[in-house]
Structure 1
Amino acid sequence: MAEGTRRELFTILETSSADADTVPDGGETPVNLSMDVRWFEIPFREPEEDEEQDEEDGERENGCRSAGGAEDTAGGRCDIILVTGNGIKHEEEHPEEERYYSVSYNCSDDSDIDFSDMEEEEHASCFGLDGDSEEEEDCASPHFWGEPDQVISIEPFSVLSGPQHSLGSDADTRDYFRLLFPDSLFEHMVEQTNSYALYRQRRSGKSDPHWHPTDLREMKAYMGLNILMGVNQLPDVDMYWASDIFIGNAGFKKTMTARRFEKLTQNLHLCDRESEPVRGERGYDGLYKIRALLDVTENTMWDSYTPKRCLTIGQGAVAAKGRFCPTQYMPSKPLKKGLRVWMLCDSRSGYCHRARIYVGRASEDATVTALAYRVVTSLVRGLEGKHHHLFMDSFFTSVPLMQRLLRDGLYACGPTEPGRRGYPEVLRPCNVGKLSPGEFYQCQRGNLVATVTRDSKVVSCLSSNSAPGLVGIGPDQEQQGEGDDNWTDTPEEGGVSFGVPRPLPLLLYQENMRGVDLCDQLRDCYPVGRPCKKWWRYFLWFYVNICIVNAYVILRESRGSVPPGGCNGKHFTQRHFRVRLAQQLIGDYQGARGMERAARKRHADSPIEYGHRLERMSERSRRCRNCTNKGLRHESVFGCKICNVHLCRGGCFSEFHK
């Protein structure tokens, strides 16, 4: 085959890493991909008769043999492009049968390219059709899919994205958290908590002598203690107020008593119970108990950070202990059983823009596809026409959803179930047969590309933001030699061998589907809240935790590597952010310990600050240390074993430890 023809069939686009790194977020590159990947473009092209005539007799037999497996199983005409280190062979077509696309690889060394240099042609519509014909033709039609020989059209992303706030350089962690969780929510919690405490007393018919109304300062201090419990995790709440000096926390004891913390936890509420609608009544809301929280945080999360180009839609899980009807079994998640939440997150930072709580399938959601369709359209509302790139898992991805997103000006990519409506019949496992690692087949309909490939297993995916025929070969990380920064193709030389070729849709998904997982990792490192018997409490602490993670992401992107003023150390991690936020929420608040002491029957026998306790020291009485210091002579058998002194049971114990 002539060298000119070979360049037409197999195009290598070369770009330096320095030029690719300077491409802005809103530039021509539809996605951000690793520069360690070697890229190849293998465009689909029908053979010309004069070029095929010379090689037809000698190559027909071998070409049919290499494509035999695909032809036998799929029953379609194949246009096989075989890429080898020695050259390219374009096999003969079978005109009486239907075609699809197959590629095999053995790549050479001089093939580093970047997707950003591809030239894109403009089309009249995202499917290459006018709007009326697109709406009329069903995706399940046998003529819907065609050959992967069309150029896709991707509009550039030019929206100003990132944190949106007016905080100055002197802003601290509390200011960033206030962007997501404003003081109005604390005031609402104070009002409804006091109201619910009175509601419980009226319902029981007796007053609670250990309860007094809370206020804004105490509610913030209560929230700060819950945040610190996620950093300093103990198996039981009472252990934070333990008398053991190795377990008890002096800061917790100074802020409020264990009984006060327990009472706040019992009466914590976010809604008016007396006006709550009953199930079956008009206006019933399954999320009524946290509706006020959802209304506020949904707006603050969306307004504080404008979504960037690449977004992830995935499923999150909230750990819950109890028998709640919304609890789901999720075998694909690290947390197998819990409360399900669907999230829209930034692919790079993990910032959560929106979250939707699953409370049961609606009556109109007859199938999983219908439910996934409604979830995605709800999460992306407000992004229409801005040309974002969405990455979803197989639960959501379907042909009707991809069509809807394209009509709304949104591009998407993700694996799918091959048995769903609209997926090409020729790409289903029963028709494709056994694939070799790196081999893939594709069909196309305008911007919509269907791909089936074999990586660690057979994967079927749909994409509307990747051109057909593009493949990348990433380095095998396990083969990297220590202390060697250069990539090589020979593991024996101490370098890295390049692994199995992957089509572009699969690489896009692997590079940009980390958003929800990253958000879950940041959230699960320091969980907020304790297990309880009320399901809505788990969602309350879930949103508090999400607001903390989002505030940390905003601070990190707004300030870069510069920590807030007064923070020592080079690194300002999420742990430092949470500890500093809790300290600022607590401030100098100290609970009304006198009101707690008055309700106790045996004040002197109760533990006090720093783990000291009044106990019987010996059978023989000895002089009280506190009275001796004042020039008095009194004896007692009681005292403090930690201080190893005898003290009177009256006020000497408290006075001595002040």
Structure 2
Amino acid sequence: MDESADSDSDNSLSDGSDINVNVSDNEGFSFDTDSESDSHETQSSLCTLDSQLSDIGDDLWSSDLHDVEIAEFGEDHGPCHTLDPKNHVYRYFQLMLPSAIFGKIAEETNKYAAQTAESTGQPDPDWVPTDETEVRAYFGLWILMGINQLSDIHMYWSDNKYIGNQGFKDCMTRNRFTMLSRYLHVNDNSTQGAPGSPQVHVLSTASNPLGDEPAIRHRRGGDLVVLQRPPPIQHYQQNYSGVDRSQQYRSKNLVGRPFKKFWKYFMNFIFEISIINSFLLWLNTPGTAKPTKHYSLNDFSLDIAQCLIGDFSSRKRLRKVQPHGPSVSRAGISRHANVKLGEKKRRCRWCSSQGERHETIFGCNMCNIYLCRGACYQMYHIHNQLPHD
């Protein structure tokens, strides 16, 4: 080994201590630096970057905070819709999640099943294409699973009379529900972007980042302390109530069961928020009245789930819509009306599909079936995608 190297090594390290480099004398010490040509290229790149940043201006995210002018909100707020206060709660839910959503999910689910069969080269012999009505019923059961939680998904179809749910059994088989869950899809996989290149949109600034407002907080023992908080935190905490209100409502309105895949977790989140928002919209609409004194968010969710399921059953061929007269007609759109059909009372068709027994003399003049005035008439036509007055 070269003696000079040993000498340099002895001078650079202190005995019994951490590594200690003597930088006072640069001779014999090699720095990993750029060449002169590399320095020119680096300087040119920095100039180009500075030019690009100046062109972007305020649209660039950075740690340099500056005042932002936020326009005052001057629009009307509160419930904004054209529904009648007497409309069924499902109509309010449709404002958040239109029926077309379920048709789209059915389309993408069938498409994903076909793509899976193509990629494996072996079609699933147990798969039968689904449709919008079945997907609605599937999500109706999914909402009910959040209300009536069991430790295992198969327990809803248990033969044990204390555990099994007859409504689930009547709607669809356990195998069919599992099959729908396996191929459930809301988007076309063939159109998604390449991994690592997400298409995102930067949110605009919604609050001024500068300025601190005092906030008084209590410490243990009763002492008060004054904290400084930026405007975004102040605005967020105005309706915070100690815990995020969205989290408060969601904790009382769970939908479905936990998922490992994030997109399915997000799907549950959308359903939870849609139910909560439609409940609050209905509750704050002037003129609405609770069906019962203690009508809660869970009761609202139960009504939504029952409307989604309707009288659907994949176990048997669906009954004809009208055994007492002609089949449901989609012609004469403007003539569907809730009128008196006779003097003798008959069972309401919609109530019967919900497992209830009510008799009425009113019904639809075009469908020629008996339906209670108001909600039953509306829900029957909504479920069968028929126009009504």
- Tell me which interval the TM-score lies in, with the shorter structure as reference length: 0.5 to 0.7
Instruction: Give 1:172 deviation, angstroms.
Output: 1.2
| Cα-to-partner distance string for 1:482-505 (whole Å, 9 max, x where unaligned) | xxxxxxxxxxxxxxxxxxxxxxx9
Q: For residue 579 of structure 1, what is the aligned residue in structure 2?
A: 302
1:460 partner amino acid: L
Instruction: Give 1:173 deviation, angstroms.
Output: 1.7
Show the 5 A alignment for 1:453-602.
455-456=218-219, 458-462=225-229, 512-514=239-241, 517-559=244-286, 562-563=289-290, 567=291, 569-593=292-316
Which structure shows the bigger proportion of residues in strand conformation?
1
Instruction: Give 1:561 deviation, angstroms.
Output: 5.9
Q: Would you say 1:285 and 2:182 are equivalent positions? A: no
Show the 5 A alignment for 1:16-415.
159-280=75-196, 284-285=197-198, 377=204, 380=206, 401-403=208-210
Instruction: Give 1:185 deviation, angstroms.
Output: 1.2
CA distance in 2, matches of 1:554, 1:190: 28
Partner of 1:552: helix, strand, or coil?
Answer: helix
CA distance in 1, matches of 2:289, 2:215: 46
CA distance in 1, matches of 2:65, 2:266: 40
CA distance in 2, matches of 1:194, 1:578: 27
| Cα-to-partner distance string for 1:218-258 (whole Å, 9 max, x where unaligned) | 00000100111111111111000001010000000000000
Contact 2:146 2:254 in 1 (8 A): yes
Q: For residue 451 of structure 1, what is the aligned residue in structure 2?
A: 214
2:310 partner amino acid: G
Contact 1:257 1:593 in 2 (8 A): no
Instruction: Give 1:463 deviation, angstroms.
Output: 6.0
Q: For residue 330 of structure 2, what is the aligned residue in structure 1?
A: none
Which structure shows the bigger proportion of residues in helix conformation?
2
Contact 2:85 2:288 in 1 (8 A): no
Structure 1 runs of 4+ aligned residues shifted over 4 Å read: 138-141, 154-158, 508-511
1:512 partner amino acid: N
TM-score, normalization: structure 1?
A: 0.35
Contact 2:146 2:257 in 1 (8 A): no
The answer for unaligned runs of 5 or more in structure 1 is: 1-137, 145-153, 288-355, 357-373, 381-389, 391-400, 404-447, 466-504, 595-658
Q: Residues 461 and 212 of structure 1: is their aligned pair in 2 closer, same or farther, counting only changes over 3 Å? A: same
2:115 partner amino acid: Y
Instruction: Give 1:455 deviation, angstroms.
Output: 3.3
CA distance in 2, matches of 1:199, 1:541: 24
| Cα-to-partner distance string for 1:263-318 (whole Å, 9 max, x where unaligned) | 110101011112322224xxx4378xxxxxxxxxxxxxxxxxxxxxxxxxxxxxxx
Q: Percent identity between the aligned chains?
A: 35
Aligned CA-pair RMSD: 3.5
Q: Residues 244 and 453 of structure 1: is their aligned pair in 2 closer, same or farther, counting only changes over 3 Å? A: closer
CA distance in 1, matches of 2:65, 2:267: 43
Q: For residue 67 of structure 1, what is the aligned residue in structure 2?
A: none
How many equivalent pairs are there?
Answer: 250
Instruction: Give 1:516 deviation, angstroms.
Output: 6.8
CA distance in 2, matches of 1:518, 1:168: 27
| Cα-to-partner distance string for 1:56-100 (whole Å, 9 max, x where unaligned) | xxxxxxxxxxxxxxxxxxxxxxxxxxxxxxxxxxxxxxxxxxxxx
Partner of 1:548: helix, strand, or coil?
Answer: helix
Show the 5 A alignment for 1:432-447.
none
CA distance in 1, matches of 2:239, 2:192: 42
Contact 1:561 1:571 in 2 (8 A): no
Partner of 1:162: helix, strand, or coil?
Answer: coil
CA distance in 2, matches of 1:535, 1:140: 33
Instruction: Give 1:191 deviation, angstroms.
Output: 0.6
Q: For residue 484 of structure 1, what is the aligned residue in structure 2?
A: none
CA distance in 1, matches of 2:293, 2:125: 50
CA distance in 2, matches of 1:451, 1:590: 59
Q: Residues 585 and 463 of structure 1: is their aligned pair in 2 closer, same or farther, counting only changes over 3 Å? A: same
The answer for unaligned runs of 5 or more in structure 2 is: 1-62, 318-389
Q: For residue 311 of structure 1, what is the aligned residue in structure 2?
A: none
CA distance in 2, matches of 1:206, 1:140: 58
CA distance in 2, matches of 1:140, 1:214: 53
| Cα-to-partner distance string for 1:86-145 (whole Å, 9 max, x where unaligned) | xxxxxxxxxxxxxxxxxxxxxxxxxxxxxxxxxxxxxxxxxxxxxxxxxxxx9999xx9x
1:231 partner amino acid: I
